[in-house]
Amino acid sequence: MKTRIAVLVSGGGTNLQALIDAELRGEIPHGEIVMVVSNNSGAYALERARQAGIPAAVVSKKECGSQAAFEARLQGILEINGVDLVILAGFMSILSEGFTKKWPNRILNIHPSLIPAFCGEGFYGLHVHEAALERGVKLTGATVHFVNEIADGGPILLQKAVEVLPDDTPETLQRRVMEQAEWQLLPQAAEMVSRQIAENR
């Protein structure tokens, strides 16, 4: 049986698209994206899920009223759908220890830097690339790691370095990191862990 994957998103969803495309190309033979969950009803990622025919749900922290209620709702949706592996693909909400403890080595996250540089609370999206340019690093990249109770602190699975160019803006750097690292690493990691789960069932 294939590993059942839920992809959690908040925004544009280019990493979700990379996963969908990789699955369609047969590059995630041990896994299947069974659902997409967004914490933001306006996320374009939801449209990508719709176009791919993948069921999608919105769980908003605001509507749930508290972090605990939000996570209980999320947990319920994942359980009902028999999810084995959760992939955070541009999911901009930090999950508590209570939640991550229920999914040991079963949550993956993609972060747009070479951890431990430019990571932890406050480092997300474009801010990460702004910080990298401000510090003047010549190399940055992306990291896929398992998620535990420490923000961006779980065991590292894959990393890839990307060059910073002299005229880079946060936007051009973000795009290069996505194209040269994120969109390759995340499907690769999804297959690695899906295979491990499927084989140890």
- Minimum CB–partner distance for residue 112 and ligand GAR (Å): 4
CA 44 to chain centre: 15
Spatial distance between the Cα atoms of 190 and 180, rounded to a whole number of angstroms: 17
Spatial distance between the Cα atoms of 57 and 144, rounded to a whole number of angstroms: 24
What would the two tokens of residue 61 be? 């922290």
Total residues binding ligand GAR (CB under 6 A)? 16
Per-residue mark of binding to ligand GAR, 37-76 (x: CB under 6 A)? --------x-------------------------------
Among 4, 30, 106, 111, binds ligand GAR (CB under 6 A): 111
- Binding span for ligand GAR by CB under 6 A among 6-14, 30-38, 58-66, 75-83: 6-14
140 in contact with ligand GAR (CB under 6 A): no
**Torsions phi, psi of 26, nearest 5?**
85, 20
Catalytically active residues, by annotation: 111
Per-residue mark of binding to ligand GAR, 159-178 (x: CB under 6 A)? -------------------x
Q: Point out which residues pair with 107 in neighbouring strands.
A: 86
- Minimum CB–partner distance for residue 201 and ligand GAR (Å): 29
Phi-psi region of 141 (alpha: psi -120 to 50; beta: other; left: phi over 0): left
What would the two tokens of residue 16 be? 């979700």
Among 31, 112, 141, 187, binds ligand GAR (CB under 6 A): 112
3-state helix, strand, coil in the chain (%, to 5): 40, 20, 40
- Binding span for ligand GAR by CB under 6 A among 10-18, 30-38, 65-73, 164-172: 10-18
What would the two tokens of residue 111 be? 């972060």
124 in contact with ligand GAR (CB under 6 A): yes
Q: What single string gives the DSSP state of each residue in 183-196?
A: HHHHHHHHHHHHHH
Which residues make up the interface to ligand GAR (CB under 6 A)?
A: 11-15, 45, 89-90, 110-112, 124-125, 128, 178, 182
